[in-house]
Each structure stands twice: as structure tokens, then as C-alpha cells.
Amino acid sequence: MPSAIIVGSGIAGLFAAISCADAGWNVQIVTKSDPSDSSTNFAQGGIAGILDKTDGAGIESHIADTLKSGDGHCDEAVVRGIVEEAGDRIRDLLNIGVKFDEEEGGGFDLAKEGGHSSHRILHSKDATGAEIERALMQAIENNSNISLLPNHLVVDLILEDNETEIHDIVGIWCLDLDAEEMHTMAADAIILATGGAGQLYSHTTNPLVATADGAAMAIRAGAAVKDMAFIQFHPTALAAPSLTKAFLITEALRGHGAVLLDIETHQKWKAGSSTIAGGDIEDPSSLSFTLKHSPLGSLATRDIVARAIDSELKMSGRDFVYLATEHLAHDDLHKSFPMIAEYLKTIGLELGVDPLPVSPAAHYFVGGLEVDHVGRVRQKGIHHYMRRLFAIGEVACTGMHGANRLASNSLLEAVVYAHRAAKYVIENPPTEGEEVNAIDLPRWRADKLSTLREHGHLRHDREAIQATMTHDVGIVKRDYRLQRASRRLALLADEVDRIWQRCKPTRDLVELRNLILIAKEVCYASIAMKVNIGLHWNDDLI
């Protein structure tokens, strides 16, 4: 039986696993934590897509919105291909058992988010990702061709030791975090679905596992990357002073009518002050500072809204702006956003009653491993794809998102590429004598490595990376700050490398090694960008 290793357990990894297993492949899903720790599980908004393939106008408008949000940097053919495939893949999800909200009279209840010109987002209340994970995990549990290895952290990819120019990935070294043992695993196809890199920043909507592991291990194995300067900050992460971790307030809430206001304007609006336009007005949309940046106001694309908030915060010296929901129908709000309402209660806020303090947080890694239309990873320096290696979901850069991802397009891209990569793998099984075997692979060499005695400095180095990225390689960049960041990151990389050479790997150390590599890539890519486009904004380029 041919075998596939899938690294990561979000929508892309699980969907690809089911597809390969259904075709008779032996699949191992390797995930470094609990499967539910994926970014998918935290996705609130939903999956954008036109279900009816005959709805030409709907498809064209989804394509147009995606291209506009991508600020002229999308690969139009890729966008078209994905948007046209949306109906089929969403139906696959429905067949697997995903439940999207429906309207009372029939048909799906479609939401709208920033940059979308119409309602086209399928969702499950405000916890769509969790619903998708639930259904996919259930299908995995019922599939005897799939085994799931939680608490297993892939450290590096194994390259076939041959003289050929094209790198052949034949296995992984994987740290069993419970047994503290390194395993050598072989497979005929290795699919990276490891998600993003939100942990590069101090404030992120991503889970703790988002440490760019897949991108880093593939780069070390010779993979090419693309568009690394484009880090998407979600405009509205809850920023209550008591919170230690960012909590996402879905953009669908703004699609439902919530409005971003600076604190002074909010106070005046609540007081019914006549010093604000119109005085005593119900809906505060016309009062939003975001209108200075786009006529779409609070519902402009994320790059614009995040920068608008950033500028507001720099001018006011405050830590947050307000997201106002007080003008919206209370019961309807609570029915549509029950998870958010519940969470807000735990910190003493009531949806529809209290203004919500929000600020931008790192959310999505638009760049990543450069892949073709089936997720094959390009090798750096040559126009060939590495053998047996695939990347899907956030770790990959397909060209769909351009310089700024349109909201709710990521789950769609993930499921389309999971399907395509699995199909390619299934249709290209190893020929006789080509199968890989763990017995033939080199073992991880731990000789002479000592056990890390102190972990404190690993945490400090991680915090130093996050501080540097947040302050110097964040929403708005400057030349001198990028240069400063590149010097600091180079020093940190040296330190981390010293520890790596001496010590046995632990989760903290492996993640730190991955984070510093990707931080440098983002910083260098930002220095190299000489135009302001989408999510890359350098004040010195104006």
C-alpha cells in the first residue's frame, strides 16, 4: 500500500488525509499538539464561495473582489481556478458532514466580510472552523487507513542521498514529545499542512502552534518561498487590558453592521452630541475614522482597516479603538455570534451593550512555500518541483491572495489545494522499486548532543523575536527599523544555532529555530520590497 505523511491537522491536512485514505493509501497524520489546536479550529468567519456553478455573475464578482483585495498582485488564473472549483469542494465538505447555517425559508445563510461586494460566505454561526474540524475529525476516526499521531513534532525533512539535481524528500525526523524520542518515518508523499506563523508576533489570533514549522523545514531542504513580506493583521482582535492572548472578533460582525470608532467619537455618539455630524444618530457608520482611508469604511479590506487603526492608535497613544455594536438588534446579534457573546461575558462585556476594545493582531501568512496548481513545492534556484513534497493551506503560497488575502478565502484555498494535491498523489503512486522504506533512511544523529538544562533563554529569545517583528516588521514599516530588525535577528539566529548544535531538540528549541528562520525571511523580503502594495507598507517608500 503506498503511504503518505501529512504534517498538520487543520482543514487542509485532514481533507487531504481523507482523500488519500479513501483511495487506499496508508496515511499518517503527524501533529505536534492536539489536533484541535489548528488555526482552522479558531476560524470564526467562514468559507467564501459560490455553490452554484452556473452563477457566472456570482463567480466573476468573487474573482473581482479577490483580485481587488490582492492589490494587483494575485495570479488571476489561480484565483479563477479556485473560485470556479468552490462549489464542488464546498459540496465535498457538506458530504463529509459539515453543517453550515441555513435560512429559515431554505438556502444557506450567507455572511459578508470586508472587501466582499456581496453576501457569499458560508458559516456555522461564529465558529465555522470548529464545525469543519468536528466533521473532518469524525471522518478521520472512522477511516481505518488513517492513523493520527498527536504530540509528534516534525523536526526536519529527509532528503534522498543521491546526486540528482532535484531534491527528493523521502521521509521525516519526528520528535515524539511524550516519549522524548526521535523517530525516522518514510513515505511516498509528504504533504505539509502546517499552517502559519502568527507566533512571530507578540499579538496574534493564531494558536501557540503557529510557528512556521513546515515552511522552515522545507526551506532547509531547499524549497523556494514567495511573497514573504505580506503578513496579514486582522483589524479586530479583542484588546481588553485583562487579556493575555488575542481573541478574534470576526469580520462578519462588521459585515453585520458593527462600526469602528475612535474613543472620543464613540463617547460623543453615545452622548448624542450635536458636535458630531448629524448629532443624535442611530447608526454610527458615517462617524468611523476608517472613512478617511476608504469609502468602504469599517468594511474596507484588511490591509486598509488595520493600517487605519494603527495610525489612529499612534496618534491617540491609546491601545485600542472601539468596535460599536450597541446600535444593532440585541437578540439577532446574540443569535448570530453566540461564541463571541459568551466569551465577552467572561471578561465582563456584553455584546450589543458595551463598546468592544479592539486592535490589530497578526492573523495570516500570505506568503509561503512556492507551489504549483497541485501543491508541489518548487525548489529554490531551479524551475523544478521537489519530488514527493507538497504544501497546502496557509504554509503554501499559491498566488491566490496576492498582496492581501480577501476574508474567508483561506479555507476555500485550503480545501481546493488539499483536493488537488491528494488527487495528484493518488494518480502518481510510486512505481515498483520506487517506494521508500524507513529502514533505508538515515537515523537522526543525537550523539554528543547534551540535554538542555535551562529553558529560560529559549523563552527570552522567542520573546525577542516577537518584539522585533512587532515593532520593526509590523503593519507599518520604515527602512531604518527594518535594518535594525535584520541585525537583531541575525544575532538571535546565531545564538539559536549555537544551542541547536549542542543540545537535544525539545519543542521549544525546534520552534525557536523555525521562528528565527522565518522571521529573517520576512524581514529580508520586506527590505527587498521597493513598492507599497497590499499588506506591505513602508513609510519611507511614500
SS3 363: strand
Signed CA dihedral, 196, 112, 311, 344: sign only: negative
Taking the C-alpha atoms of residue 474 and residue 33, their distance in angstroms, rounded to an integer, is: 28
Among 122, 246, 361, 407, binds ligand SIN (CB under 6 A): 407
Cβ closest to ligand SIN, residue 43 vs residue 159: 43
CB of 364 to ligand SIN, least distance (A): 6
Cβ closest to ligand SIN, residue 185 vs residue 361: 361
CB of 412 to ligand SIN, least distance (A): 9
Single out the segment in contact with ligand SIN by CB under 6 A; choices: 11-19, 72-80, 159-167, 402-410: 402-410
What Å distances lie between residue 118 and 60, 110, 235, CA to CA?
A: 12, 9, 20
Q: Is 251 in the site for ligand SIN (CB under 6 A)?
A: yes
CB of 244 to ligand SIN, least distance (A): 21
With contacts defined by CB under 6 A, how many residues of the chain interact with ligand SIN?
A: 10
Question: Of 363-382, which residues contact ligand SIN (CB under 6 A)?
Answer: 364
Cβ closest to ligand SIN, residue 44 vs residue 514: 44
Single out the segment in contact with ligand SIN by CB under 6 A; choices: 8-16, 157-165, 250-258, 486-494: 250-258
Single out the segment in contact with ligand SIN by CB under 6 A; choices: 20-28, 71-79, 244-252, 482-490: 244-252
Phi-psi region of 317 (alpha: psi -120 to 50; beta: other; left: phi over 0): left
Q: Is 38 in the site for ligand SIN (CB under 6 A)?
A: no
SS3 529: coil
Taking the C-alpha atoms of residue 224 and residue 533, their distance in angstroms, rounded to an integer, is: 22
Taking the C-alpha atoms of residue 281 and residue 269, their distance in angstroms, rounded to an integer, is: 7
Among 2, 35, 45, 375, binds ligand SIN (CB under 6 A): 45
Q: Residue 101 burial by CB count (10 A; 0-12/13-18/19+): exposed, middle or buried? A: middle
SS3 378: strand
Cell 539535481 sits on residue: 165
SS3 391: strand
Among 3, 19, 40, 44, binds ligand SIN (CB under 6 A): 44
Cβ closest to ligand SIN, residue 183 vs residue 302: 302
Q: Is 410 in the site for ligand SIN (CB under 6 A)?
A: yes
Single out the segment in contact with ligand SIN by CB under 6 A; choices: 58-66, 246-254, 339-347, 430-438: 246-254
Cβ closest to ligand SIN, residue 78 vs residue 389: 78
Q: Is 87 in the site for ligand SIN (CB under 6 A)?
A: no
Cβ closest to ligand SIN, residue 44 vs residue 145: 44
Which single residue brings its beta carbon nearest to ligand SIN? Answer: 45
Bridge partners of 397, per DSSP, are: 370
C-alpha cell at 257: 453592521
Q: How far is CA 203 from the centre of its chain?
A: 14
Taking the C-alpha atoms of residue 332 and residue 258, their distance in angstroms, rounded to an integer, is: 13
CB of 321 to ligand SIN, least distance (A): 16
Cβ closest to ligand SIN, residue 3 vs residue 40: 40
CB of 15 to ligand SIN, least distance (A): 17
Taking the C-alpha atoms of residue 472 and residue 458, their distance in angstroms, rounded to an integer, is: 21
CB of 380 to ligand SIN, least distance (A): 29
Single out the segment in contact with ligand SIN by CB under 6 A; choices: 5-13, 248-256, 388-396, 439-447: 248-256
C-alpha cell at 159: 532528503
Among 408, 466, 468, 514, binds ligand SIN (CB under 6 A): 408
SS3 459: helix
Strands, E assignment, 146-292: 146-149, 152-159, 169-176, 181-186, 189-192, 225-226, 231-238, 247-248, 259-261
CB of 43 to ligand SIN, least distance (A): 6
Direct distance between the N- and C-terminal alpha carbons of the chain, in angstroms, rounded to an integer: 57
- Residue pair 16/422 in contact (Cβ under 8 Å)? The answer is yes
Q: Which residues of 369-379 are buried (b: 16+ CB within 10 A; e: fewer)?
A: bbbbbbbbbbb
Cβ atoms within 10 Å, residue 318 = 14
What track of x and - describes contact with ligand SIN for positions 321 through 360 (by CB under 6 A)?
----------------------------------------
Q: Is 65 in the site for ligand SIN (CB under 6 A)?
A: no
Cβ closest to ligand SIN, residue 364 vs residue 444: 364
Single out the segment in contact with ligand SIN by CB under 6 A; choices: 26-34, 141-149, 245-253, 303-311: 245-253
Q: Is 235 in the site for ligand SIN (CB under 6 A)?
A: no
Taking the C-alpha atoms of residue 377 and residue 314, their distance in angstroms, rounded to an integer, is: 40
- List the catalytic residues: 302
Taking the C-alpha atoms of residue 316 and residue 240, their distance in angstroms, rounded to an integer, is: 17
Q: Is 28 in the site for ligand SIN (CB under 6 A)?
A: no
Q: Is 252 in the site for ligand SIN (CB under 6 A)?
A: yes
What Å distances lie between residue 297 and 115, 259, 260, 276, 327, CA to CA?
A: 10, 8, 8, 17, 17
The identity of residue 121, as a single letter, is: I
Q: Is 250 in the site for ligand SIN (CB under 6 A)?
A: yes
Single out the segment in contact with ligand SIN by CB under 6 A; choices: 39-47, 221-229, 436-444, 501-509: 39-47
List contacts with ligand SIN (CB under 6 A). Answer: 43-45, 250-252, 364, 407-408, 410
